[in-house]
Amino acid sequence: MKKETGYVQDKNGVFTQLNDTNGGHSLDIKIDRDNTTGYIYTHLNDFPTGKTDPKTGRPFINKIKRMFSPADVIKFLQIAKYTEYNNIPLSSVYGTMVSSSGTYTLKFTGNTADIKDLKTAEEYESDYIKLMKKGNEKGFLRFLRDHIKVEGIELYKIKNSGRIRPKTLDESGKVETGDC
């Protein structure tokens, strides 16, 4: 596909399709403070843009990061923060991203009072891009630790078998895969 798709879920279990933006390369994750429990969406594979490099004649490729973006993390934390007001259990809050490199879910087990002083997605972008060069999981976990700085954000990878594995950084900064 050349267009992302996704849904938000409300506290009654109803899913509402998300609208695409940026020519289908992003989704507008609208959340209702009193009703949203989570979201699920796809990330695309790399694909030709339809333009070619005039020097080489090679097609320009749209390179996709197959991990949550800074904007996705901010939306996830907003949903978690809203549990202070909406009588939705924090354990129900999630963000899920499906891609060819894996299906990942965010959960929050921290203190919602610690969700504060977040920057905009644009302000995080350059740091995020640098860290993602270290690999999807490692770069993303380092981004959470070093730039989002909110304790209790947990990353899980869901295997095709249905097995769920938590992903964390050890003390040396390497990705550890736990058992669930």
Q: For residue range 82-120, what is the model confidence (pLDDT) as tens digits?
A: 998 899 999 999 999 988 778 999 999 999 999 999 999
Q: Is the pLDDT of residue 27 over 90?
A: no
Q: Higher pLDDT residue, 5 or 50?
A: 5
- The whole-number pLDDT of residue 178 equals 85
The residue range of the domain holding 168 is 6-177
Residue 29 covered by a domain = yes
Q: Measure the CA–CA gap between 33 and 54, rounded to whole angstroms.
A: 48
| Tens-digit pLDDT profile for residues 125-161 | 999 999 988 888 999 999 999 999 999 999 999 987 7
Residue 40 covered by a domain = yes
Measured from the Cβ of residue 83, the count of other Cβ atoms closer than 10 Å reads 18
- The whole-number pLDDT of residue 168 equals 92
Q: Mean pLDDT, the chain, as a whole number?
A: 88
Task: List the single range of 59-68, 69-78, 119-128 with lowest mean pLDDT.
Answer: 59-68
Q: In total, how many domains does the chain have?
A: 1
Residue 135 covered by a domain = yes
Q: Locate 159 and state its tokens.
A: 């295997």
The proportion of the chain whose per-residue pLDDT surpasses 70, expressed as a percent, equals 91
- Mean of the pLDDT values across residues 48-59? 82
Alpha helix positions (H), 9-120: 70-86
Residue 1 covered by a domain = no
Residue 57 covered by a domain = yes
- The whole-number pLDDT of residue 97 equals 92
- The whole-number pLDDT of residue 23 equals 67
pLDDT confidence bin for 76, thresholds 50/70/90: very high
